[in-house]
Amino acid sequence: MSEFFQQVINGVSLGSIYALIALGYTMVYGVLGFINFAHGDVFMIGAFVGYYLGPLILPLTGDSMIFAGLLVMLAAMVVCSVLGVTIEKVAYRPLRSRPKLTILITAIGVSLFLEYGGQLVFGPDPKLFPELIPSKAIIDSSDLVINTNSIIVIATALVLMLILRFIVFNTRMGTAMRAVAFNHQTAGLMGINIDRVISLTFVLGSSLAAAAAILYASVYPSINPLMGIFPGLKAFISAVLGGIGNLTGAAIGGMIIGLTETFVTGYISPAFRDAIAFGILILILLFRPSGILRRHETEKV
């Protein structure tokens, strides 16, 4: 029983990370209508920011891990936001009126550029991420072992998601985002600065990806330039599962994928770790492509 509960915690922890990344995918899809393949690699850059800055910041904060972790996370969020906005301005904006396939190809191109560029700049071999989040095992009376790691991951993710929710539903900028996601043209006509809204979307999405990266690397400390591929894919699948364009859906989807992955690798076989997500993807696309919480996209005739 306690093992089960442990798996649940692990699953929710992993799921929270996927959720954070998925939110980035879903926001960009909601506002721009395409899948930002490069998102997973922005996540990867966040991890490397943490790798390089961690050892620098840690001594400055008197070795207080949580504080350092927070600073590193903020720094990564800033760097990734800049990266995300730059990518949008340079690679996606010129293609806004073009057929979707063109942007898709460009996004994949950017993704490859970051991956191979990362291998050039950082070196292809895996590196060990510094410890920025205290990882202590708490054992309670019923032999249940909970790692503080997981708790912090879940708590941080929750806080970030709540902040995002606040921004999207309780601020003017957030309302503007929702308007643009609903209908580009009308939003523009109402005086909303579409470009600014889109940039904000990328800032938010990339920040969350960066935070997710720091959390992920704290739990799985081996990082390398290709580390964004699978988490990115699974986060994307989470977004589709939850209903792409739907924020709550992305969070729920992330949890489902995280829990499923943890349970399957824990109770069935670790070999299926990545295949599971693909399987879920095919199933959704075949039976319910609009996701669990749909966002109706019917074409007006």
Partner 1 sequence: MTGIFRNMIRDHKSKIVLVLSLPVFYLLGRLQGSISPYYYQIIIYIGINIILASSLNLINGFAGQFSLGHAGFMAIGAYTSALITSSIGIAGGLPTPLVFLPALAGGGAAASICGLLVGIPTLRLKGDYLAITTLGMGEIIRVIIQNLDFLGGARGFTGIARMTDFFWVYSIAALLIYLLYNLLHSTYGTGYLAVRDDEIAAESSGISATGIKVSAFIIGAFFAGIAGGLYAHFVTYINPSQFGFLRSFEIVVMVVIGGMGNITGVIFSAVILTILPEALRAAAMYRMVIYALLLVIIMITRPGGLFAFGAGLPRRVAQNAPAR
Residue with Cβ nearer partner 1 (39 or 150): 39
CA angle 257–259–263, rounded 5-degree value:
115
* Residue 226 engages partner 1 in binding (rule: CB under 8 A): no
Which amino acid, residue 105?
Answer: I
* Residue 80 engages partner 1 in binding (rule: CB under 8 A): no
* Residue 293 engages partner 1 in binding (rule: CB under 8 A): no
* Residue 138 engages partner 1 in binding (rule: CB under 8 A): no
* Residue 112 engages partner 1 in binding (rule: CB under 8 A): yes
Binders of partner 1 in range 236-265 (CB under 8 A): 236, 240
Given 10, 16, 106, 238, the residue binding partner 1 (CB under 8 A): 106
To the nearest 10 degrees (0 to 180), the angle between helices 229-242 and 2-32 is: 80
Residue 88 CA to residue 83 CA, distance in Å, equals: 9
* Residue 91 engages partner 1 in binding (rule: CB under 8 A): yes
Residue 231 CA to residue 218 CA, distance in Å, equals: 14
Helices and strands, number each (H, E), in the chain: 11, 4
Is the separation of the CB atoms in 277 and 40 below 8 Å?
no
* Residue 196 engages partner 1 in binding (rule: CB under 8 A): no
Q: How many CB atoms lie within 10 A of CB 31?
A: 24
Closest distance to partner 1 from the beta carbon of 215 (Å): 26
Which amino acid, residue 96?
Answer: R
- Kindly list the residues in this chain that would bind partner 1 in the complex (CB under 8 A): 29, 34-35, 90-91, 94-95, 98, 100-102, 104-106, 108-110, 112-113, 116-117, 119-120, 236, 240, 275, 278, 281-282, 285-286, 289, 299, 301
